Amino acid sequence: MAETFETLQATAQAREDTLNSGLRIRVGVALCGEAAGAFEVLEALNAEVASRGLAASVQEVGCIGLCYAEPLVDIQLPNGSRVFYRNVTTEDLPAILDAVSSANFRPTDKILGTLGDAGVAGLPKIEDTPQWKYQIRIATRNTGTVDPGEIQEYIVAGGYTGLAKALASMTQEELIEEVKTSGLRGRGGAAFPTGVKWGFLQGSKRPNKYVLVNCEEGDPGAYNDKGLVESDPHTVVEGTIIAGFATGSNYGYIFIRHGHVGPIRRAQGAIKQAYEMGLLGQNILGSGYNFDMEVALTGDSYVAGEETALMEAIEGKRSMPRARPPFPAQSGVWANPSNINNVKTVSYVPEIVRRGGEWFSEIGYERSKGTAVLCLSGDVNYPGMYEVPFGLTLGQVVNEIAGGTASGKDVKLLQTGGPLGGVLGSDSLEIMLDYEGMSAAGAILGSGGIIVGADDICVVDLARTLVAFCQFESCGKCFPCRLGMTHLVEMLERIAANNGRPGDLDLMRSTGKTMAMGSLCGHGQLGFNPISSALKFFEEDFHVHLEEGRCPTGSCNGAFHRPTRTRPLATAEWYAKEEYAAP
């Protein structure tokens, strides 16, 4: 390490100042943007800028969260104001560049609004929209703004100052105390206090300890882990290093499902850059602390996101959950003490260290401190990734941020926390968005996905879709889950096809009870949730099927396709590609 952190910051700031003095154009090319055609727009934009000889720097960025407006093109004027064009196609580009060249932005459908204090006269401010005004962006503070492939921009945004502070002036105990003060709880679903969890690993005196970051994220309707890693990988890297330092471990893994190409590419790039800057490896920032880190991939398995299954996968085994005890802090990866955190959890850590646990604990509601990174989708007007403080109501989230149903029909149900989370009825819109409130209502916040369904959905249809997913993704290890899921799908299929038998509801309940009590991991223990919650709020839909022999909404009538493999299995050639190889 030749340079001090201050020199790194100065270099990065100088680069930023140069860029800011001119015109900056950012294009969101995360998964949501890519799906909407952002790469085509980016290519055409580059060509157009070049052909016009426009003095502008065009950059790839991640997802700012407003996924409904992708592809987003963000024009940053030298005065700092940013103008966002929404749903841009290649045909829109000449007009956009004309406006940019003439500095004459007239409100059109294509302009989403502006960000930044100065704003642009005549254009709406995004800050005033419900999609933005509720947000407090901590974990997502940089997404859509910094270039995820450029560590300098992250440093300018305050990145790695938390790490530098921790290494220079804090002990392991102080760090853990800071995280405890912040009240940060695990964002992967279980909401366990992060500082306490770190304390377990820190307390272990064994030599080789591991910190793992879980970006398996297989929940349908959840894309915040992928979004964070893809849009701001350095915050994950920095958080992991801090977690490593706090717990006294020297190895870290970011574990990503093999199909998440963008996040893998960004995470590997970020790790490589951090090594080059001396922020990873031996003697980080001259502190004497060593930390090595790599990206680990797995095959196509939802259960691989379960912490012990994930460890099996890292060891190169079939990803099936282990029996606990021993817990990961005693015996994790290769029987070494390990700590595993969700991507979102570690993303908060740099800011908590930088600004103090006290600051973080003032945000949020009662025992749910800080913010929740929500993924809103389903029948809504504004699907996207929004970071909001705990304490809003689900109604505010659904009706204001998500803008109500896209179909215009009444909200019938919310499906939260992934397929195992179950459904909530429309009366749940009164519920407070926090861990305790959600669990009191019989649902879980889980990974933060909220799927909204209007009243044209039959709950039997929804339940069979969710349970079929859970059944397909059961690893097959423990008997209750392997067999129970299979029977539940079968029963739901026949109820949906109006062939249900009298007693099927009871049979589902008893099977679900066996699974909940008997299963080895959360997948089976929670696997009955979609049905139990459906029965709790919408038992009527089942009775219509069973007793009247018809679907209450007609949504069960079409052909039902059970899930099959969504993408080909990774091959040796795939892993051999240089960009996916471990650094």
Partner 1 sequence: MTEPLKLSIDGVEITAKPGQTVLQAAIDNNVYIPYLCYWPGMKPYGSCRMCAVEVEGGRGTPASCTLPVADGMVVTTASPVVSDLRHGILELLLSEHPHGCLTCHRVELCGPQDICLRHVSVVDRCVVCPKNERCELKDTVRYVNMSMESPLTYNYRNLQVETGDPFYDRDYNLCIVCARCVRVCEEIRGDDAVTMIERSGTVLVGTSHGSSLLESGCEFCGACIDVCPVGALTERDHKWDKAVKTVKTTCPHCSVGCQVNLEVDSRGSAIRSIGDWDSPVSNGQLCYMGKFGNEFVNRPDRIRMPLVRQHGELVESSWEDALSIIASRLSDYKGDAFSLLVSPRSTNEQAYLAGKFARSVMGTNNVDIALDHRLELIEPLGRRLGNMAATGTVSEIEDAGCVLVVNSNVTEEHNVAAVPIKKGHKKGSKLIIIDTREVELTRYADLWLRPFPGTENALIGGMLKVIVDEGLQDTDFIAAQSDGIEFLTSSLSTYELDTVASTTGVPADKIASAARFFAASSSSAVVYALDNISADDRTPLTESLIDLALVTGNVGKPSSGLFPLRPGANSQGALDVGCSPHYLPGQVSVENAPGLTGPESLEAMADGSVKAVMVIGDSPLFTQEAVHAFSHTEFLVVQDLFMNELAQSADVVLPMTSFAEDEGTVTNIDRWVQLRRAAIEAPGEARPSTYTFAELARRMGATDFSDGEPLALLGEIARAVPTYAAINHDALESGSVQLPWNQPARLPFAALASLAPRIAGDESFPFLFAPGRVLAMPGEDIEIIRSNGKNTIRREDALEMHPEDAISLGVAPGEIIEVATHTHRIRGMARTTGILRGVVSATVLFGELATALDASGDYDPMLKVPGLHIMPVRVEKVPS
Q: Return residues touching partner 1 (CB under 8 A).
A: 301, 318, 320, 322-325, 471-480, 482-487, 490, 501, 503, 507, 510-511, 513-514, 517-520
Closer CB to partner 1, 381 or 486, in the complex: 486
Closer CB to partner 1, 162 or 418, in the complex: 418
Q: Minimum distance from CB of 186 to partner 1 (Å)?
A: 19
Give the CA angle between residues 142, 575, 566 to the nearest 5°.
75
Spatial separation of the C-alpha atoms in residues 69 and 579, rounded to whole Å: 30
Element (H, E) at 313: helix 307-314
Q: Minimum distance from CB of 322 to partner 1 (Å)?
A: 8
Instruction: Annotate 242-267 with DSSP letters as a single string.
Output: HHHHHHT--EEEEEEETT-HHHHHHH
Instruction: Annotate 12-43 with DSSP letters as a single string.
Output: HHHHHHHHHHSEEEEEE-SHHHHHHTHHHHHH
Contact between 379 and 409 (Cβ < 8 Å): yes
Spatial separation of the C-alpha atoms in residues 46 and 42, rounded to whole Å: 6
Closer CB to partner 1, 408 or 502, in the complex: 502
Residues in the chain: 583
Q: Minimum distance from CB of 195 to partner 1 (Å)?
A: 23
Q: Minimum distance from CB of 257 to partner 1 (Å)?
A: 15
* 304, 332, 469 from 463: Cα distances, Å: 23, 34, 10
Closer CB to partner 1, 384 or 419, in the complex: 419
Spatial separation of the C-alpha atoms in residues 386 and 374, rounded to whole Å: 5
Q: Minimum distance from CB of 487 to partner 1 (Å)?
A: 6
Position 79: which residue type? N
Closer CB to partner 1, 85 or 302, in the complex: 302
Closer CB to partner 1, 125 or 487, in the complex: 487
Q: Minimum distance from CB of 323 to partner 1 (Å)?
A: 3
Closer CB to partner 1, 346 or 475, in the complex: 475
Contact between 395 and 403 (Cβ < 8 Å): no
Closer CB to partner 1, 110 or 482, in the complex: 482
Closer CB to partner 1, 110 or 509, in the complex: 509
Strands (E), 72-209: 73-76, 82-85, 111-115
Spatial separation of the C-alpha atoms in residues 83 and 471, rounded to whole Å: 46
Q: Minimum distance from CB of 534 to partner 1 (Å)?
A: 20
Q: Minimum distance from CB of 342 to partner 1 (Å)?
A: 23
Q: Minimum distance from CB of 496 to partner 1 (Å)?
A: 16
Which candidate, 433, 371, 435, 436, places its Cα nearest to that of 399? 433
Instruction: Annotate 421-456 with DSSP letters as a single string.
Output: T-EEEGGGGGSBSSHHHHHHTT---TTSEEEEEETT
Instruction: Annotate 353-407 with DSSP letters as a single string.
Output: HHH-HHHHHTSEETTEESEEEEEEEES-SS-EEEEEETT-BHHIIIIIIS-S-SS
Q: Minimum distance from CB of 96 to partner 1 (Å)?
A: 48
Closer CB to partner 1, 303 or 556, in the complex: 303
Q: Minimum distance from CB of 521 to partner 1 (Å)?
A: 10
Q: Minimum distance from CB of 541 to partner 1 (Å)?
A: 22
Closer CB to partner 1, 286 or 518, in the complex: 518
Strands (E), 97-191: 111-115
Q: Minimum distance from CB of 330 to partner 1 (Å)?
A: 11
Contact between 474 and 485 (Cβ < 8 Å): yes
Element (H, E) at 106: none
Closer CB to partner 1, 161 or 308, in the complex: 308
Q: Minimum distance from CB of 531 to partner 1 (Å)?
A: 16
Closer CB to partner 1, 143 or 511, in the complex: 511
Contact between 177 and 365 (Cβ < 8 Å): no
Contact between 236 and 229 (Cβ < 8 Å): yes
Contact between 537 and 416 (Cβ < 8 Å): no
Task: Determine the 3-state secondary structure of 193 from DSSP.
Answer: strand
Element (H, E) at 80: none
Closer CB to partner 1, 154 or 302, in the complex: 302
| CA-CA-CA-CA dihedral for 86, 376, 395, 437, to nearest 10 | -150
In the sheet that holds 384-389, the strands lie side by side as 384-389, 371-378, 449-454, 411-416, 423-425
